[in-house]
Amino acid sequence: MNQNNTINIRAIRNKKSIKKDLSLQPKNIHDQYYQESDDSEDEKILSKIGRLQTKKYKDKDFIGYDENLNKIQKKKQFQDTIDEFINKTENKDWWRVVRDELNNQDVVLSDKQLQLLDRIRTGKTAIKLSDDYYFEHEDFNQFDLLSSYNPKRRFLPSKWERIKINKLVQGIKLGRIVLNPPQKVEKMFDIWENVAEDQVLSKYLPARIPASKAQLPSNVASYNPPEEYLFTEQEKQQWLQTDPEDREIPFIPQKFKHLRNVPSSEQLAKDLFNRCLDLYLAPRIRRKKLMMKSTDFLPEIPKPEELKPFPTKLNFEFGQIDTTKSGQVKQISISQDGQLLGVCYEFAIAFFDTKTSKCLYTKWQSDDKQFLGLDFSSSGLICILQSNGFIILNSYIDKRQHPNVEDGEKANKQIPKNSNNVFEWNFELDDNVFQQLLEVKMPYDPLYAQFHSKSDYIVSTQPHTHVKSHCILVHSISKSSTSIPFQNMKASTEVQQTIFHPTKPELYIMTNKNIFIYSLTKQQLMKKLLAGNQQNSTIAIHPYGDNLIVGSNDQKVCWFDLDMGKTPFKKMSYHKNGVRRVIFHKTYPLFASCSDDGTINIFHCRISTDLNQAPVILPLKVLKQKKKESVMDVAFHPTQPWIYSASKEGVVSLWT
């Protein structure tokens, strides 16, 4: 051929052919082939153990057999890490050594092998390609073989093709030509449509179930098994003494030199008969698999947007009074009609109008006494706790009279003045905006008080008393008397808070560890609830009266269902510090908790009238203070989905 028409191929490597006469080769022909070959697939494997597990040679001094059936002895390794460390210090190329577990030897990597591994790690080709791996071919069509030139019509657009294309475009626009017309599908009909279901034979036939597969033989059943599988005399006697049903192997392994020396099996007919019995008597069950996801087992949780309305953002902050004189906030409370918001400071009581956020009245305290809390009744009375007693105010500006107060004043006049009564009732009126109706003096400080739903009784809690029976007191306004419901109380009992049931004559007493439910009519203990907290701090009852929540100083909020048991139905740990207050909303399915970490958690609680259905509790929103101040108390609006909060520095906020 001409040199211009040749194809130059550079550096095409071929493997060395081994087509020599086998009779002229030495005995170690395989070793010579492995030495000459440079293919990684031709690496020689010394140990010929097949699929046998390596744990069979764990207690042996060899790892297998070579191609001549000679034992390959194990190579001694380091006894401990000290010997291995000494070897690393003496051998500078220890980092090149790679352990070959299959052949039980150490392989030292060369520089070329390390370079190859480095290229593979970086995502490059194993071998760097040079120009020798590519070939070039010269363009031999330098001269045109035809002497004539192409006519001009070959370089101009065809007139007739343009006319034909215009006709096709016009046909598509007018609808004569339809692109990708729908294919006609032949209607299929059921030939058994008129046949009744009871006449179909397949209805009564069982479904086909495939037969069970026989167990495949393993290496033990080989005619030339390794020595590890052969029985010793002791194992053989033990196998013969065991019951045939309890034997792990149904035969004794034997070793034969050739396959032709293997005799016929004596148990062949018995094995075939047992296989037929397995196919005939095997219990077959068709199991239906349920294609279900893990999310299908979870209950359907509604989205927070579907559970509105609930507080989501800060609306405004009420005007502050002089905090240097008033001190920290103790408690906040809202009236039953939602018009007044009372804030109890250490040395002042402030009443705000909820519609205009205007401070209507401020009552200051002297230096030797402090305010401890307040509570509104359903009839417009305000109970304000202070040092050594409490006072009752009239929340109505028109100063209307209350029948319970009038009855209590009449009953107080009948009590002799010289009686040795520890609790002193004084009915004295003043001319303030919120008129003071009466004052009760006690020898200790009440920390918490609550009105009964009928506004006649007040229960107060005094944890720090010298007389343990006086830690819980019930005050009657109409009778102007104070009763002690628990005369025999243990000295170890530390009462934290006491509240009335909203509808039943029951009293709930919360201690550091437990909650006791006491019946006022039967005058006996009804139930004891085990909260499991380190120290309980606050309690609230649902308006229905069948559920209650308890907050603790160990960052937990426990929900109790009184119909389920004595232990909490659910425990929630969403706060980072101790819980200050937990409250329920009176009209909306909401409850909230506040903590010293400066957050207010809003929850959705749906309680069904069906006793078999458990309550649904879902977290909705986390309200955070601007300065991350500890929230001392919270209060829900009685008719709106609003919540009021009071921080430690005296900032009262409205969240809507």
pLDDT in tens, 213-243: 888 888 898 999 998 899 999 999 999 999 9
The yes-or-no verdict on residue 383 having pLDDT over 60 is yes
Three-state secondary structure call for residue 75: coil
Instruction: Return phi, psi of residue 167, to 5°.
Output: -65, -40
Q: Is the dihedral of CA 327, 329, 331, 335 positive or negative?
A: positive
**d(C-alpha 129, C-alpha 133), whole Å:** 7
Contacts of 123 (CB under 8 A, 6+ apart): none
Does pLDDT of 53 surpass 90? no
- Looking at residue 43, what is its pLDDT? 56
Confidence (pLDDT) at 299: 76
Q: Work out the average pLDDT over 278-294.
A: 76
If you average pLDDT over every residue of the chain, what do you get? 80
One-letter amino acid of 40: S
**Residue 33: pLDDT above 50?**
no
**What integer pLDDT is reported at residue 407 of this predicted model?**
77
Q: How is residue 102 annotated by DSSP?
A: T
Give per-residue pLDDT as tens, 599-628: 999 999 988 877 778 888 999 999 998 777
Q: Judge whether 484 and 470 are in contact, CB under 8 Å.
A: yes
**How many angstroms separate the first and last alpha carbons of the chain?**
96
8 A C-beta contact, residue 343 and residue 384: no
Which of the four pLDDT bands, split at 50, 70 and 90, describes residue 11? Answer: very low
Residues whose CB falls within 8 Å of the CB of residue 28, separated by 6 or more in sequence, listed in order: none
Angstrom distances, CA of residue 176 to CA of 44, 160, 169, 171, 182: 75, 21, 10, 5, 15
Q: Nearest-CA neighbor of 555 among 577, 582, 583, 539?
A: 577
The H or E element that residue 551 is part of is strand 547-552
Copy the structure tokens of residue 98.
């790679």
The number of angstroms, rounded, from the C-alpha of 536 to the middle of its chain's C-alpha atoms is 27
- Provide the pLDDT for residue 614: 83
Residue 268 DSSP one-character state: H
The three-state DSSP-derived secondary structure of 279-348 is HHHCCCCCCCCCCCCHHHHCCCCCCHHHHCCCCCCEEEECCCCCHHHHCCEEEEEECCCCCEEEEEECCE
Does 582 score more than 70 pLDDT? yes
Higher pLDDT, 422 or 447: 447
Bond before 309 cis per omega within 30 degrees: yes
More reliable by pLDDT, 27 or 369: 369
Q: Could you give the CA distance from residue 107 to residue 231 in angstroms, rounded to a whole number?
A: 37
Q: How confident is the model at residue 65 (pLDDT cuts 50, 70, 90)?
A: confident
Tally the residues of the chain.
656
pLDDT tens per residue across span 386-441: 888 888 888 775 555 677 777 777 777 777 665 567 788 888 777 676 778 888 88
Q: Tell me, what's the pLDDT at 31?
A: 47
User: Of 24-28, 45-49, 538-542, where does mean pLDDT reach its minimum?
Assistant: 24-28
Q: How many CB atoms lie under 10 A from the CB of residue 345?
A: 24
pLDDT of residue 4: 39
Domains of the chain (ranges, CATH numbers): 304-655 (2.130.10.10)
User: How far is Cα 498 from Cα 594, in angstroms, rounded to an integer?
Assistant: 19
pLDDT of residue 149: 79
> Which H or E run contains 167?
helix 159-174
